[in-house]
């Protein structure tokens, strides 16, 4: 069977430096104890993947390298006592998933319930990030408000759905008016344009019960609006930097409101937690997916040989969901 992969040999503009490779036959080394061979089904193209190819990510690989921070696959060979042939797995460590088969350690994967493979391929990053945001920084009670920017993003949509399941209310900021209706349909309680009227509108919605938690994926002025909308001693968590603008925090937010600032990189959360905790989180998320309560939109699915077109599409702001690579 032809082995397919996407590689890059230098850092740069993703669509210019990636290449598709295919061989009629790929010879793998024999598995060692505790190792698996996994047939990849789908791999999303995430902003982290693009940053990785650009050389702007928190991890720099040795070149040449195969991208792919998340994926789903089926185990086709196993020398593990805990992972069996036929199991559906996602990868919790970086193994380079933009290829048709991967050899890895059993510790690199989590077995999940059988859910649609397109949804399973997107389970690692966005839903887990959303769950960590909602549960790891402040004790929220049923009916409490949280506020987030970039609410139409993959994480933002996961936050809306999971918050609803947990009984929390969401105030969601977006940059384009045409996004409002679709987020309300998804279950958002309030959707506002991310402009200078945010704080006034939030106070009108919440009264004295201002948001306890702000989820920031943008940075710059948008991040400051979130701080201004928080209650005293509110928690502000940054997990993205879409605007590429730094946080320049006014002293008043730290002195008078005593806002607490945090950063979240889900890779570090996985590294910091034991396997039982990680498995429990993903089982919970996968169960919600299976029940139809958590869903991520897919815009277009590409074959790996169309990687340049796929990356170009994934780099565009106006999409209706994720771009996936189909290795199945």
Looking at the domain that runs over 126-266, which CATH code has it been given?
A: 3.40.50.720
Q: What is the dihedral of CA 192, 177, 159, 72, to 10 degrees?
A: -170
Domains 3-122+296-326 and 126-266 share a fold: no
Give the integer Cα–Cα distance in Å for 237 and 263: 5
Strand partners, 260: 235
Pick the CATH number of 3-122+296-326 from 3.90.180.10, 3.40.1580.10, 3.30.1310.10, 1.10.1030.10: 3.90.180.10
pLDDT at 183: 97
For residue range 177-203, what is the model confidence (pLDDT) as tens digits?
999 999 999 999 999 999 999 999 999
Residue pointed to by tokens 């380079």 = 96
Residue pointed to by tokens 């295919």 = 22
Residue 94 has pLDDT above 70, yes or no: yes
For residue range 13-70, what is the model confidence (pLDDT) as tens digits?
999 999 999 986 556 678 999 999 999 999 999 989 999 999 988 889 999 999 999 9
Give the integer Cα–Cα distance in Å for 91 and 107: 9
Residue 207 has pLDDT above 70, yes or no: yes
Report residue 179 as tokens: 């996004």
Enumerate the active-site residues. 57
At residue 280 the predicted structure's pLDDT band, cuts being 50, 70 and 90, is very high
Nearest to 96 by CA among 84, 104, 88: 104
Give the integer Cα–Cα distance in Å for 201 and 198: 5
Domain boundaries, the chain: 3-122+296-326, 126-266
pTM above 0.75, yes or no: yes
Report residue 241 as tokens: 């930097």
pLDDT at 164: 98
For residue range 158-178, what is the model confidence (pLDDT) as tens digits?
999 999 999 999 999 999 999
């Amino acid at each position: 069977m032809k082995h397919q992969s996407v590689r890059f040999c230098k850092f740069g503009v993703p669509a210019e430096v990636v290449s598709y490779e295919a061989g009629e036959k790929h010879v793998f080394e024999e598995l060692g104890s505790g190792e698996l061979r996994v047939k990849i089904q789908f791999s999303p193209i995430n902003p982290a993947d693009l940053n990785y190819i650009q050389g702007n990510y928190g991890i720099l690989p040795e070149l040449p390298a195969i991208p792919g921070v998340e994926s789903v696959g089926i185990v086709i060979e196993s020398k593990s006592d805990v992972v069996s042939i036929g199991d559906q797995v996602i990868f919790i460590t970086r193994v380079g998933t933009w290829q048709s088969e991967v050899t890895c350690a059993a510790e690199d994967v989590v077995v999940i319930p059988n859910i649609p493979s397109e949804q399973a391929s997107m389970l690692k990053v966005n839903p887990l990030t959303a769950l960590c945001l909602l549960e790891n920084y402040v004790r929220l009670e049923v009916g409490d408000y949280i506020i987030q920017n970039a609410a139409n993003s993959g994480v933002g949509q996961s936050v809306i759905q999971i918050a609803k399941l947990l009984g929390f209310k969401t105030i969601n900021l977006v940059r384009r008016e045409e996004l409002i209706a679709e987020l309300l349909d998804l279950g958002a309680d309030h959707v506002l344009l991310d402009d200078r009227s945010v704080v006034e509108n939030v106070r009108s919605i919440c009264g004295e019960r201002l948001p306890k938690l702000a989820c920031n994926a943008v940075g710059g002025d948008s991040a400051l609006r979130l701080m201004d909308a928080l209650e005293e001693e509110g928690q502000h968590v940054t997990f993205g930097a879409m605007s590429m603008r730094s946080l320049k925090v006014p002293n008043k937010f730290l002195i008078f409101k005593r806002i607490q600032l945090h950063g979240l990189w889900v890779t570090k959360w996985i590294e910091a937690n034991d396997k039982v905790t990680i498995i429990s989180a993903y089982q919970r998320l996968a169960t919600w997916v299976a029940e139809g309560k958590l869903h991520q939109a897919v815009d277009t699915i590409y074959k790996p040989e169309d990687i340049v077109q796929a990356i170009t599409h994934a780099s565009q702001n106006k999409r209706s969901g994720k771009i996936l690579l189909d290795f199945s």
